[in-house]
Structure 1
């Protein structure tokens, strides 16, 4: 039995205005609140939260999956920005790398051409030494250019990633301004990392080689000492890399300078805090390496096919042309693979930095406050 009063012709249970209210006091179309579009009610209560954009990563300590999710989600949020940046930065680096690599390959092409013209002629006696020296110098320059480009991309991706996580999306112009402002400190950090890592690897390796050089005989002792020295060098270089992994993100977020960011990274990875940074960092780098190998491997296969086709079409006379084209195609593949995968690695390192601070310094409280302020500012526009 219904207890409510129902007007004639109305369905039972329908809401009716208060009979005691003055006529005309009910507005069937209330005015939207400030910031809401005309003709639509403003989000209220839970609905207000549902319309908020999903951040790059949750503002709390992250799991390994969430770190990888942030590294992948950056492509969905800012694909054009981050890929364009990587293409420009690595484009300049690969032009310089191609020039140095080409300089190192010139003696090879010349020797191959001379051998084809006179198969019985022998190469010069100092060819092996000069070629080895050119290869070492070319590899060193390639490593330096790659390291510098990686540091610049990490600066930009850290700025973009932290902004996307807090709702303060950085524009492309702001990202480039950050790169220009922090380029020299970031390059300094990366070069120091390279020097320290090289010394950490080379010193035990040289000490392990001494028994073999002194005894001039490959025995169990000399070979064992060499293997142990190389393993210790690898572990020390990996330790240096992990301790300095958060230096560039700290440089971008905290503006601590070159040595300040390195010291900050060492504090953030002190004691047991090192193991999580090391483990997740190695996983990110392994996935990055596998991805680049897959992409560049496709171009390597194409390069080999082109090389073999040129040899067959020219009756083995187009060996130099085949080598040149094969080298160019393989370098294009390496460039594209690096451009596609570099944002993944840099955004992952930025997420590792944020996870470390949220886990050990309660940085998530500051990030949540900043996120609320940014979202409130956007909602009132």
Structure 2
């Protein structure tokens, strides 16, 4: 059947649908229905971890397929730009590598510096696009996973792509809210250092006070990060705009900040550790050919060895990136659903929707 495009606003249920007996007042039924990867009731950490693993296991094809398309495509584009940069500026590369014989002038390396700056900007834009697309993809997959409905690569791709601009807007706004205070303090601190450069005592005090002020802002930035962490899910599940999604996330996180922070931190550490151990054998495999290089290797041998090394690193980074991006976002999406279970009694609405899906497909 067709996948839901959204779960509505604060309540999300059909008009006139009341609260069934036994669902209100914080009382939970002995056996909550479980049409998908989670039981339709407030979730404990075991439910959340199990649901995250189950969602990845059931829907790994669209998740891995879209992640491979995004990050693989980005890697090909960056590699192509590196190749074009080298082909265009090969003489400059040789000048820099032979710089031990003479000092390198700015006009000799100017084109190379600007080329790498352009490469860095393009890579940053690609990573930002890929991240926003994966945030949207995980939320779209969870819409199907919670109700146990199928999801294909194509359906997830087009739904995620349609919500990606709004997800990107929410991420940028949340990032600005978290980083602007830190940037302001850094700017003020730099200005004060310049003003006090001629006064040794004042300069020493500023050098001590500046890092302390910066450390004081970090908890505030972390608080904002958790406060707005459910915004990408709100964008996809409820078709909200970036600003509305930030407000929605703030409403849902209120009263549960520490719980969401702790579970999100645990998931990120687990995903980061798994990603590291996945990438490690690729790094070892890529470095193995370098052990065969002799004392006077030729250019062709060096190019072959380094190409193999970077290719192995690229594959390892791709696989690791899929894990480190996908698992935390699946968990964040389930935290969004859990908060709606706890605050808005969404569970019976989803139970009815899942029953209708079963009836309609029978």
Same-fold call, TM cutoff 0.5: yes
TM range (shorter): 0.7 to 0.9
Matched with 1:86 is 67
Question: 1:132/1:246 Cα in 2 relative to 1: closer, same or farther (>3 Å)?
Answer: farther
| Aligned 8 A contact 1:60 1:358 in 2 | yes
Question: 1:258/1:366 Cα in 2 relative to 1: closer, same or farther (>3 Å)?
Answer: same
Matched with 1:293 is 276
| 2-structure distance, mates of 1:107, 1:236 | 46
> Is residue 374 of structure 1 aligned with residue 357 of structure 2?
yes
> Is residue 351 of structure 1 aligned with residue 324 of structure 2?
no
Matched with 1:257 is 241
> Is residue 275 of structure 1 aligned with residue 275 of structure 2?
no
Matched with 1:330 is 313
| Aligned 8 A contact 1:246 1:265 in 2 | yes
Corresponding residue to 1:302 among 276, 279, 285: 285
Deviation at 1:341, TM superposition (A): 4.1
Deviation at 1:264, TM superposition (A): 1.3
Secondary structure, in 3 states, of the residue corresponding to 1:157? Answer: helix
Corresponding residue to 1:188 among 152, 155, 169: 169
Question: 1:201/1:161 Cα in 2 relative to 1: closer, same or farther (>3 Å)?
Answer: same
Secondary structure, in 3 states, of the residue corresponding to 1:282? Answer: helix
When structure 1 is superposed on structure 2, of 94-103 and 276-285 the one drifting more is: 94-103
| Aligned 8 A contact 1:152 1:179 in 2 | yes
Q: How big is the alpha-carbon RMSD for the aligned residues of Structure 1 and Structure 2? A: 3.6
Larger Rg: 1
| Aligned 8 A contact 1:208 1:228 in 2 | no
Corresponding residue to 1:174 among 142, 155, 160: 155
| 1-structure distance, mates of 2:360, 2:81 | 50
| Aligned 8 A contact 2:226 2:261 in 1 | yes
Matches within 5 A, 1:118-197: 119-125=100-106, 138-197=119-178
Matched with 2:16 is none
Secondary structure, in 3 states, of the residue corresponding to 1:123? Answer: coil
| Aligned 8 A contact 2:235 2:245 in 1 | yes
| Aligned 8 A contact 1:188 1:258 in 2 | yes
> Is residue 339 of structure 1 aligned with residue 322 of structure 2?
yes
Matched with 1:204 is 185
Question: 1:243/1:96 Cα in 2 relative to 1: closer, same or farther (>3 Å)?
Answer: farther
Question: 1:316/1:81 Cα in 2 relative to 1: closer, same or farther (>3 Å)?
Answer: closer
Deviation at 1:375, TM superposition (A): 3.0
| 2-structure distance, mates of 1:73, 1:194 | 30
Deviation at 1:299, TM superposition (A): 2.5
Deviation at 1:225, TM superposition (A): 2.8
Structure 2, unpaired ranges of 5+: 1-30
> Is residue 65 of structure 1 aligned with residue 49 of structure 2?
no
Structure 1, unpaired ranges of 5+: 1-49
Deviation at 1:154, TM superposition (A): 2.2
Question: 1:184/1:317 Cα in 2 relative to 1: closer, same or farther (>3 Å)?
Answer: closer
Deviation at 1:129, TM superposition (A): 8.6
